[in-house]
Amino acid sequence: TIQCWPIRFVGDDGQDVAMVQLGPVAVEPGRQQGGIGRALTAHALAAAEQAGLADAITLIGDPEYYGRFFGFDAARTAEWRVPG
């Protein structure tokens, strides 16, 4: 399974930005290591790109997984302040 949630980010300047929160990704333990999670994530990222939201993705999940397979890092969001 993969979750994709519509979220909104409001900056200190009041700018309201529509975003998509991707994750978590979960695969039944007996089927892990077969590329299912990567395929689900790749499909979600392609759909976001097709919808013009490729630069609006945020993640919930293992940073090493997303970084290793998809090149994500926290550079763009490192200074965000979020509730919780």
SS (H, E, C) 4-29: EEEEEEECCCCCEEEEEEEEEECCCH
Domain assignment present for residue 19? The answer is: no
Domain assignment present for residue 64? The answer is: yes
For range 20-47, the mean pLDDT: 92
For range 42-62, the mean pLDDT: 89
Domain assignment present for residue 84? The answer is: no
Hunting for tokens 């395929």 — which residue is that? 39
Task: Check residue 27 and give its pLDDT.
Answer: 93
pLDDT above 70 coverage of the chain, percent: 99
Q: Tell me the one-letter amino acid at 56.
A: A
Report the alpha-carbon distance of residue 21 to residue 57 in Å, rounded. Answer: 6
Domain assignment present for residue 31? The answer is: yes
Domain assignment present for residue 55? The answer is: yes
> Structurally, how many domains does the chain consist of?
1
Q: Tell me the one-letter amino acid at 54.
A: A
Task: Check residue 13 and give its pLDDT.
Answer: 87
Record the pTM: 0.77
Domain assignment present for residue 65? The answer is: yes
